[in-house]
Amino acid sequence: MDSTPFSKRCEIITNFTDIANTESWAQGFFDFYDLGVPFAIGSNGGMITLNDDGIRYVNDAWEGMCELLGVDPYGQYADIRDIMQFAGAISEG
């Protein structure tokens, strides 16, 4: 299986932030990835261009988010809904 492209990872992290930033169970994630998450949001919005270090921070946040949600970080996901379905957080349909 192909992994999720970097630009899609940024989009998914951005959307995850929109739905989980006020959730207590996700606070540790946002505290720990205090650079990767904003870099993903900025890149997704076209506000910043990331160098190799910035890309590494985003990829670390991606892996952390996937671990938090219990999904394969090397899977290919279309959007946050896709990941949440794999995580069992929402039902299909």
Q: pTM, whole model, 2 decimals? A: 0.91
Report whether pLDDT(2) > 50.
yes
pLDDT value at 59 more than 80 = yes
Q: What is the mean pLDDT of residues 41-57?
A: 98
Is 61 within 8 Å of 37 (Cβ atoms)?
yes
Which strand (E) or helix (H) includes residue 56? helix 52-69
- Amino acid 82: pLDDT: 92
